[in-house]
Amino acid sequence: MTELRRLGATNLHILPLVLGGNVFGWTADRTASFAVLDAFVAGGGTMIDTADMYSNWVPGHHGGESETILGEWLKASGKRDSVVIATKVGMLPVENGSSLSAQAIVAGCDASLQRLGIDTIDLYYAHKDDADVPLDEMTEAFASLVKAGKVRALGASNFHAMRLKAAVDTARAAGIPHFQVLQPEYNLVSRHHFEGQLQDYCVENNIGVVPYYGLASGFLTGKYRSADDMKKSARGGGMADLITQKSGVLAAMDGVAAETGATLAQIALAWLAAQPGVVAPIASATSVAQVEDLLGATRLVLSAEQIDRLSDAGA
């Protein structure tokens, strides 16, 4: 059985794969979402990631759809104590002021708790940075949720290195809980958002990293290799540059697949899980078969030579 990893300096321990909830209520209806969640937990999965804004980009949706379905599953399954629930605030529009004002953070948390049907959110993220909000206001609002018992641990998503450091330093100076987890965009073909200063800071300060877009919107599954493949799905239209510029990554992954018998999705996620600072990549699924494929990544151990070969191809 795959060992759980400690999430930075938090008291949370998770499998090195997080299930993304962005598809719940969007490309996975209630029935499909329940099946995916059941399969993930049955396979040893421990952490589920969602956000209050999922899926407000869908016509007729307003955000909260994913949390609502997840909450219904938690109630129906009785699995609340078996899973770590992470959600986010800061991307839904608010009527007055910023989506990361103190008022918006506290109100967003209460709304998420209600939709999820739980008393405490295990990990609560600032979904994106907001330079218009003073850092002491932002950090104090998040810390107040920990003090109130509504949140166990705090994280930041889409923060640059200097802003993450400034936020952590501000909270530490005030003696209040600080961001202990980072959720950046990071995968084999998109490295610049994380590698360098941000990765170094997280490693040095024991901030657990949980990357999203681990499969590069499907490119790293090998689904899109030619212009004809771009017609396979709604995401295909955005693959032109990757097909042109990053085909060498797929070739390197094909080589590792031949050596290990693993799927390309498993290889992409195992590469991420092996990177310094990374605790667990996030990946979403719309079927039980996809969940089982993704869980296989947690049992795949790449050699140092294979990791280096993949890194060089994706550089």
pLDDT at 238 over 80: no
Among candidate residues 287, 73, 308, 294, the one with its CA nearest the CA of residue 188: 308
Residue 235's pLDDT is what?
A: 66
Burial tier of 47 (Cβ tally within 10 Å: 0-12, 13-18, 19+) = buried
pLDDT at 247 over 80: yes
**Cβ atoms within 10 Å, residue 139:** 27
pLDDT at 236 over 80: no
268: left (phi > 0), else alpha (psi -120 to 50), else beta?
alpha
Average model confidence (pLDDT) for the chain? Answer: 95
Is beta strand 13-14 parallel, antiparallel or unpaired with respect to 5-6?
Answer: antiparallel
Residue 308 pLDDT grade (very low, low, confident, very high; cuts 50, 70, 90): very high
The token pair that represents 32 in the structure block: 């499909």
